[in-house]
């Protein structure tokens, strides 16, 4: 089996110490106890850990590469805007999951419900989910499906807005950030 792990080290630590620790970690995780050999370090400094991971993925050749780059680690960056967006996202997620997990036809008075796709008549007592047991199509009304889509789209737009606000805060607080090493080790386990 193939394993990939990302390790974080303080940039104040010497590169030889970081390399030694990462190689030992690779050997500990490896099936045969082999270390990675050398670790290629790049001079790129990413804006955050996620960007550093993407950068290292772009440099990975797929042959058990052990590579490293630096990134900025920020103190807890929060603002009223980020907290407000977080609360809105949580609220919409709750509404989405509540609506999505409710069995729409569970409490109807009719004995049978018709599937709008295959026209099968399904006994109300056997409806345990929102999909037709025959054709597997979602049987909920279009208005419910549209509302679920609207929730998803709104959540996505709020997450984009939140990420943009966090990027803005990171740019504003770059002097407070600590530089860290992100080391990707790859091994056979």
CA proximity to 4, closest of 25, 32, 21: 25
Q: What is the pLDDT of residues 171-182, one digit of tens each?
A: 888 888 899 999
Q: At what angle do helices 80-101 and 142-172 cross, to 10 degrees?
A: 160
| Percentage of the chain modeled with pLDDT above 70 | 99
CA angle 91, 97, 131 (to 5 degrees): 155
113-137: per-residue pLDDT in tens? 899 889 999 888 888 889 988 899 9
State the DSSP code for 78: -
71 in Cβ contact with 46 (< 8 Å): yes
Entry pTM? 0.64
pLDDT of residue 174: 84
Longest dimension (CA), the chain: 74
User: Which tops the pLDDT comparison, 23 or 158?
Assistant: 158
Residue 89 has pLDDT above 70, yes or no: yes
pLDDT tops 70 at residue 36: no
């Amino acid at each position: 089996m193939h394993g990939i792990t990302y390790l974080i080290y303080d940039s104040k630590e010497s590169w030889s110490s970081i390399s030694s620790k990462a190689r030992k970690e690779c050997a500990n995780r490896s099936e045969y106890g082999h270390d990675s050999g050398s670790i290629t370090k790049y001079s790129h400094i990413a804006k955050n850990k996620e960007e550093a991971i993407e950068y290292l993925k772009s440099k990975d050749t797929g042959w058990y590469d052990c590579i490293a780059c630096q990134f900025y680690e920020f103190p807890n960056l929060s603002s009223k805007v980020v907290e407000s967006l977080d609360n809105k996202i949580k609220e919409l997620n709750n509404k989405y999951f509540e609506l999505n997990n409710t069995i729409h036809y569970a409490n109807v008075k009719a004995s049978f419900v018709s599937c709008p796709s295959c026209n099968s008549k399904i006994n109300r007592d056997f409806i345990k989910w929102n999909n037709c047991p025959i054709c597997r199509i979602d049987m909920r009304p279009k208005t419910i499906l549209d509302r679920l889509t609207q929730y998803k789209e709104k959540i996505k737009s709020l997450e984009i807005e939140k990420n943009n606000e966090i990027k803005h805060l990171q740019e504003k607080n770059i002097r407070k950030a600590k530089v860290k090493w992100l080391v990707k080790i790859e091994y056979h386990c």
